[in-house]
Amino acid sequence: AQSVTQPDIHITVSEGASLELRCNYSYGATPYLFWYVQSPGQGLQLLLKYFSGDTLVQGIKGFEAEFKRSQSSFNLRKPSVHWSDAAEYFCAVGPLNRDDKIIFGKGTRLHILP
Amino acid sequence: KAGVTQTPRYLIKTRGQQVTLSCSPISGHRSVSWYQQTPGQGLQFLFEYFSETQRNKGNFPGRFSGRQFSNSRSEMNVSTLELGDSALYLCASSLGEGAGTDTQYFGPGTRLTVL
């Protein structure tokens, strides 16, 4: 069955520290992969997406993610977090055909220590 | 280009009532998807509409329904509200051309509280 796992429900890092949020997926083939961010009371904003090609993807707000086929992972990274990065982050796998739907992980809430 | 808009942003209803939520997609987008987000269940897919036709449906009871108009605007309706329907309802629009290249853009959501 298709699924997305974000193993960490909460993560706390200090401002200025590096960040890595984990995402693992189970899919019949290499899916399309997304990371979204949701600030409190807001909708989801697309950070970055991977369709094919270079496995290191650059996104907005200084985020990047690396697709590792052998590990079925698509981890999100940022070298130095800012207090404004505190939010909930969702990994998602996109459908390979029109009849399927996008599947979201449960999310990882990021807390930033001053 | 204007983003996805949802109205109203907040709603308070009582059990047994019905509610209609509205979503206006990004101009040119033909697909609208609806999600329910709760702290316990996370993001759950409700349904997707494309060119006025329901293309996909999640595992929700028949009390949840939707429709899409010729201008791609969409509404979802929940009848006979239950306390458990309290949630943030998110709408997302996309071009609708299919597959994963079809990035979804989300609206700010409608916060529904059922008392």
- Domain ranges (residues) in chain A: 3-113
What is the spatial distance between Cα B101 and Cα A70, in angstroms, rounded to a whole number? 22
**At residue B47, what is the residue type?**
F
- C-beta neighbour count of B91 within 10 angstroms: 29
**DSSP-assigned letters across all residues of A54-94:** -SEEE-GGG-EEEEEGGGTEEEEEESS--GGG-EEEEEEEE
Nearest to B99 among A41, A96, A105 (CB): A96
Query: Residue B103 has which token pair?
Result: 């990035």
Contacts of A46 in chain B (CB under 8 A): 103-105
- The dotted CATH code for A3-113 is 2.60.40.10
What is the spatial distance between Cα A21 and Cα A9, in angstroms, rounded to a whole number? 10
What pLDDT does residue B98 have? 58
Q: How much is the average pLDDT of B43-65?
A: 91
What pLDDT does residue A16 have? 97
pLDDT > 90 in chain A, percent: 72
**Which among B22, B29, B46, B39 has a CA at the least distance from the CA of B109?**
B22
Locate the chain B residue with the closest alpha carbon to A91. Answer: B43
Identify the bridge partners of residue A19 per DSSP, sorted by sequence position.
Answer: A78
Q: What is the pLDDT of residues A31-86, one digit of tens each?
A: 889 999 999 878 899 999 998 888 999 999 999 999 999 999 999 999 999 999 99
